[in-house]
């Protein structure tokens, strides 16, 4: 079969081709069960093995400590913007560090449940602020560890919170690199970037944070209830969990630069991002406006200095087999999302196209 185009969507995003092929092969009859995974009871033994394997593999890949629960939920990142404060804020104080559009949105939603203060704001500086005005009695501090729209990523999680739990919205870089659990009380993310189909939301929560949900919190979104029922309080997104499980297997087996598993994925992501930023920085035709200290390895927003060429750029890119490069509507320009499933060859093809387009239109 002909090679598929390279897909730079910010999410739902490209999945590893071997996973898609396996899903296709197993669609009508999963492992001799006579059923598609979509058609199985979530309480049957077949799905039980799928969920258990997915959780075990995810825990192994991210070295999740035993005192963290892994929850397979629904509601997405925006759902979590309400679910987190309903579970963790106790109606008290929440500090938010704004590094882009998603953390700003999280602050806005949390205001419905808690006393929210912006502890720092990146504004238009393109660099994550180092000084945070934190309150010692805040229930938690929220950051978005990778801003999908703005292309800003924490390369290291801060130690600044002095015992106040840190909540990270890791939606768009989950499983692209290790997580420093010493600094994290809760991490959440939708699956639709690095992990699988939309509809599955992953939550990692330290056990001591359970049990404080506001009474208005829906039972299906109460972490303690979900944890006590092994993510089976209600029907979990079974098919998405199955595909995520195959992606975890794929990550475990990935080899790159003498590494294997998450270390291979991370190194490949580092190399892909370096290649693309170098091409953008080396040209006066394109620009990325984020400080190099906090540029995202996953989402690379960039602009053509001559914005009149935007439509031509996108049309020619599409014709060259480079899909979904249009920037988010709130910032314009272009964005290349280069999640785990994007091979190095995809970024090489994009860089080649950037150079070629500049020669023809520069």
Enumerate the active-site residues: 102, 169, 193
Specify the residue, 77 or 327, whose C-beta has the smaller distance to ligand PMP: 77
Torsion angle, CA of 169/175/176/178, rounded to 10 degrees? 90
Least gap, CB of 96 to ligand PMP (angstroms): 13
Task: Tell me the closest approach of the beta carbon of residue 305 to ligand PMP, in angstroms.
Answer: 27
- Pair of tokens at residue 97: 């560090």
Q: Which is nearer to ligand PMP, 40 or 143 (CB)?
A: 143
102 assigned to a ligand binding site: yes
| 117 is known to lie in a ligand binding site | no
* Residue among 102 and 302 whose Cβ is closer to ligand PMP: 102
Residue 359 to residue 275: CA distance in whole angstroms: 19
What's the rounded Cα separation, in Å, for the pair 178 and 100? Answer: 22
**Is 318 marked as a binding-site residue?**
no
How many C-beta atoms surround the C-beta of residue 218 within 10 A? 13
- Separation in Å, CA 279 to CA 91, 98, 149, 211, 349: 48, 29, 20, 49, 12
Question: What is the separation of C-alpha 354 from the centre of its chain, rounded to a whole number of angstroms?
Answer: 26
Question: Which CB sits closer to ligand PMP, 76 or 237?
Answer: 76
169 labeled part of a ligand binding site: yes
Nearest-angstrom CA–CA distance, 172 and 146? 6
**Smallest separation (angstroms) from ligand PMP to the CB of 42:** 21
CB of 144 to ligand PMP, least distance (A): 5
- Which positions touch ligand PMP (CB under 6 A)? 11, 76-78, 102, 144, 148, 169, 171-172, 190
d(CA 254, CA 273): 18
- Determine if residue 148 is labeled as part of a ligand binding site: yes
Q: Residue ranges for the binding site for L-glutamate?
A: 43
């Amino acid at each position: 079969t002909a090679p598929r185009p390279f897909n730079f969507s910010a999410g739902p995003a490209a999945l590893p081709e071997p996973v898609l092929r396996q899903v296709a092969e197993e669609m009508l009859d999963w492992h001799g069960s006579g059923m598609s995974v979509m058609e199985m009871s979530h309480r049957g033994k077949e799905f039980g093995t799928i969920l258990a394997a997915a959780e075990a593999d995810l825990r192994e890949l991210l070295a999740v400590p035993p005192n963290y629960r892994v929850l397979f939920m629904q509601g997405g990142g925006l759902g979590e913007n309400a679910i987190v404060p309903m579970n963790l804020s106790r109606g008290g104080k929440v500090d938010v560090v704004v590094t882009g559009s998603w953390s700003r949105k999280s602050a806005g939603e949390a205001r419905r449940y808690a006393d929210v203060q912006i502890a720092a704001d990146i504004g238009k500086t393109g660099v994550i602020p180092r000084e945070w005005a934190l309150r010692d009695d805040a229930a938690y501090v929220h950051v978005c560890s990778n801003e999908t729209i703005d292309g800003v990523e924490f390369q290291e999680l801060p130690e600044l919170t002095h015992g106040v739990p840190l909540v990270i919205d890791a939606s768009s870089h989950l499983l692209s690199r290790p997580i420093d659990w010493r600094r994290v009380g809760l991490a959440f993310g939708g699956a639709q970037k690095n992990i699988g189909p939309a509809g599955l939301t992953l939550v990692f929560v330290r056990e001591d944070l359970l049990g404080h949900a506001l009474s208005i919190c829906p039972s299906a979104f109460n972490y303690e209830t979900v944890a006590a029922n092994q993510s089976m309080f209600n029907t979990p997104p079974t098919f998405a969990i199955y595909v995520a499980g195959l992606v975890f297997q794929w990550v475990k087996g990935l080899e790159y630069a003498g590494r294997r598993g998450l270390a291979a994925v991370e190194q490949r992501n580092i190399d892909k991002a370096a290649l693309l930023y170098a091409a953008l920085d080396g040209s006066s035709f394109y620009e990325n406006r984020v400080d190099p200290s906090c540029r995202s390895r996953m989402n690379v927003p960039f602009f053509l200095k001559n914005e009149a060429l935007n439509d031509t750029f996108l049309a020619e890119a599409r014709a060259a087999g480079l899909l979904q490069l249009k920037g988010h509507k709130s910032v314009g320009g272009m964005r290349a999302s280069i999640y785990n499933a994007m091979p190095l060859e995809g970024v090489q093809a994009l860089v080649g196209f950037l150079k070629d387009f500049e020669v023809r239109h520069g």
